[in-house]
Every structure is written in structure tokens, then in C-alpha cells.
Amino acid sequence: MSTRPTVLITGASTGIGAAYAERFAQRGHDLVLIARDQARLDALAARLRSEHEIAIDVMRADLTQLDDLTSVEARLRDDTRIGILVNNAGSALAGNFIEQSTESIAQLVALNTTALVRLASAIAPRLAKAGTGTIINIGSVVGLAPELGMTVYGATKAFVLFLSQGLSQELSPQGVYVQAVLPAATRTEIWDRSGIDINTLNEIMEVGDLVDAALVGFDRREPVTIPPLHEAESWDRLQSARQGLLQQLRQSAVAQRYQPQH
């Protein structure tokens, strides 16, 4: 049994989640793996147990279903061994907004935002009380770019970034590290599942490279890690500009340009 904190990973059967499972197993962490595909979860768990001699629990769960979601929440609240949550489960959606069904949009929002924030809410009080722990939320650079046309998906990922930054402000003084990871296009099954042809994309990052980079940011305790961003100063300038804008806001006075013209 590992003395390191157990890591609970959602969307763990393939792609980014499976790569996180592999990397944390290599580091000697016990795992709790969550996904819908029981067979894939079992196969991954069996291989990692054999290769790394760690304890792995598997929970089959569809996080858009309330009963499944509340079961995972209970595990996060009650299992004091779990010290790291990787909020990775997510999906995308093909087409533009008016082509997408209301039901498909609701499912996307339920998985990408509602499930993510509920799981963070389930574990955060316990971590804060303990004075240690980590929440890793997988966002996307699409959340910075409405110009890319993935309106609802991008909106959910903008939520993930804002939530992560807000939680970092609240929880870091209590010893809890919160990291937002913002991939660009990465070679995972999310594209096929959402009906998007990956071959139409110009550049694709390999999933192992993405997770390795994200873990460099994790080890550095970065609040926001953007593996495809080559100039870190660009992010710093964006944050400085945002903070400068906030300083110009005056709640008691309407800006001159909005004053009625007589």
C-alpha cells in the first residue's frame, strides 16, 4: 500500500485520463479509476497493478447520471486516502450551436461543468480541513477562443478555467493546490465520439506528451498550465491586462461613452 495520496481520475479508461493513471502509477500512487467502460477500466487496472505493484479500485460510472455521480462524490468525501482529484471526464460536440440538439447540449454541460464542479465540491472541504491535497481540472485553450466556433464546448472550458482560478484563490491559503490544465487539440477519442474528424485538424499533440507537460506544471505548482503555449510571457501579459481592466471599473459611475446625449 502506497504512503502517497491516492489519486481519483475521471474519464480514466482512455486518452488523457489513462495517461494520468499511467504516470501516477509510475510515481507509486494508488488509484481510483472512474469511467463508463468497465472492460477497459479493468484491463488498464490489471496492467498497472502488475507493472507497478499499487492498489487500484475501479468504479464504473456515467457522470451525467445522478446516481453514478453521487456515488463518486461519496467516495471523495469519505475516503481519506484520496488526496488528488483529476477532473478529466469530458466530451465535445460537432456542429454549430443551431445544429446541436438541446438534449446534446444539456449532456455536454452536465459532464463538462456540473459533474466537474460537484466532484470538486465533494472533496474540497475535506482537503482544506486536512491542509493538503490537489484538484486538477482539465480545461482547454478553446475556452479562451470563441473565434474557434466550438461555442458550448468552449463555454464549458471557460467555466473550468474560471472555477479553477477562483478555487486557487480560495483554497491555496489552506494548503490545497488547484491546477487548470489547458490542452490544445490532443490525439484522443473525444474527436470520434463527438463526430469531429481529427484529420481536419492541422496540429495534434500526442496524449503522453500532453500529460507529461501537465505534470511538469503540477510539480511546479502552477495554477494554470498550458502545454502548447511556447511563450509563457503571453499568458502573463493577458493576466496583467485583465487585472488592469478591473482597476478601471467604477461601480458608482456610468462610463462617459454611455452617458445619454442631450
- Active-site annotation, residues: 153
DSSP SS3 for 140: coil
Q: List the grid coordinates of 155.
A: 463555454
The residue among 182, 79, 181 whose CA lies nearest residue 135 is 181
What is the rounded CA–CA span in Å between residue 30 and residue 217?
21
CB 227 within 8 A of CB 205: yes
CA distances from 92 to 45, 138, 200, 260 (A): 26, 13, 15, 44
CA distances from 179 to 1, 105, 116, 161 (A): 26, 26, 13, 9
CB 176 within 8 A of CB 135: yes
